[in-house]
């Protein structure tokens, strides 16, 4: 006698994929650094996929201008830590997720132990200095990390796993290093002004690049080839995209 379940499981659609391992996702540990527009989309996707263990790190608080680009925040969230609100929203999407947060600076408040804890790290950062630290920490922990960057209609997702692949520093030009030095300037006023300039972003581009980052993490967790030492570049004006090695 054929037994037909009355209701499908939460992840039944995913589990119909021949190679899918939902248990692997439930056991996965992912460190997400950055809970802005890009980080919001990354965290949302991880919750929808049923990733079991996530740590979110961000030092910033929510401003009204964040509400137009961040799916996990609400008007009542204004003034609260981004990491805390993102963690709470992820838990509301997927109650079985063990999601934690650190309201702090990844370069000063996150111990290396968290990098070794993670299976893979996803960076949703907006500055090169923090990316350099993330690259160094991931190297010492021997964990791959996925970088994402967005700028209006353009975006890029890249995978780093040194020494197996090129590292983030390998991709930096002289202009990039000049920007890092400006952020490290001894003039506190100049540094704050530079930091607060920001980069214009849109929620649509954040959705695209975050989706690529999470998809690459999904492939890595399933033992598939992913963007290791490669980058995916999307140009939204002409809807052109391509993959490149570095």
Per-residue pLDDT tens over the stretch 27-38:
999 999 999 999
pLDDT of 194: 44
- pLDDT over 70 for what percent of the chain? 86
Q: Average of pLDDT values for 119-132?
A: 94
C-alpha distances in Å from residue 120, one per residue of 58, 197, 202, 219: 17, 30, 26, 11
Is the pLDDT at 180 greater than 80? The verdict is no
More confident residue, 160 or 3: 160
Which of the four pLDDT bands, split at 50, 70 and 90, describes residue 118?
very high
- What is the SS3 assignment for 87-132? HHHHHHHCCCCEEEEEECCHHHHCCCHHHHHCCEEEECCCCHHHHH
Which of the four pLDDT bands, split at 50, 70 and 90, describes residue 193?
very low
pLDDT of 154: 93
Which of the four pLDDT bands, split at 50, 70 and 90, describes residue 173?
low
Is the pLDDT at 188 greater than 50? The verdict is no
The structure's pTM equals: 0.89
Which of the four pLDDT bands, split at 50, 70 and 90, describes residue 245?
confident
Which of the four pLDDT bands, split at 50, 70 and 90, describes residue 102?
very high
C-alpha distances in Å from residue 92, one per residue of 72, 95, 98, 159, 187: 10, 6, 11, 29, 43
Is the pLDDT at 232 greater than 70? The verdict is yes
* DSSP 3-state of 217: helix
Question: Torsion angle, CA of 139/111/210/182, rounded to 10 degrees?
Answer: -80
Is the pLDDT at 181 greater than 90? The verdict is no
Contact 132, 87 (CB under 8 A): no
State the average pLDDT for the chain.
89
pLDDT of 140: 95
Encoded tokens for 153: 């209609």
pLDDT digits over 67-84, tens only? 999 999 999 999 999 999
Q: Average of pLDDT values for 42-48?
A: 98
Is the pLDDT at 95 greater than 90? The verdict is yes
């Amino acid at each position: 006698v054929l037994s037909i379940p009355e209701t499908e499981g939460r992840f039944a659609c995913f589990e119909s994929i021949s190679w899918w391992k939902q248990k692997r996702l439930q056991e996965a540990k992912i460190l997400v650094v950055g809970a802005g527009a890009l980080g919001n989309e990354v965290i949302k996707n991880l919750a929808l996929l049923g990733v079991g263990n996530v740590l979110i790190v961000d030092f910033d608080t929510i401003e009204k201008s964040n509400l137009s680009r961040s799916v996990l925040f609400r008007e009542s969230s204004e003034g609260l830590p981004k990491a805390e609100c993102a963690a709470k929203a992820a838990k509301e999407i997927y109650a079985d997720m063990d999601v934690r947060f650190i309201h702090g600076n990844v370069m000063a408040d996150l111990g290396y132990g968290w990098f070794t804890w993670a299976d893979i790290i996803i960076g949703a950062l907006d500055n090169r200095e923090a990316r350099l630290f993330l690259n160094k920490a991931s190297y010492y922990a021997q964990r791959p990390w996925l970088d994402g960057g967005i700028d209006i209609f353009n975006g890029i997702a890249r995978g780093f796993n040194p020494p197996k692949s090129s590292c983030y520093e390998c991709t930096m030009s002289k202009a990039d290093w000049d920007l890092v030095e400006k952020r490290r300037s001894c003039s506190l006023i100049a540094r704050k002004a530079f930091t607060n300039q920001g980069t214009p972003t849109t929620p649509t581009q954040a959705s695209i690049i975050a989706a690529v980052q999470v998809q690459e993490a999904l492939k890595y967790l399933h033992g598939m080839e992913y963007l290791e030492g490669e980058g995916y570049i999307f140009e939204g004006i002409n809807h052109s995209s391509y993959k490149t090695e570095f």
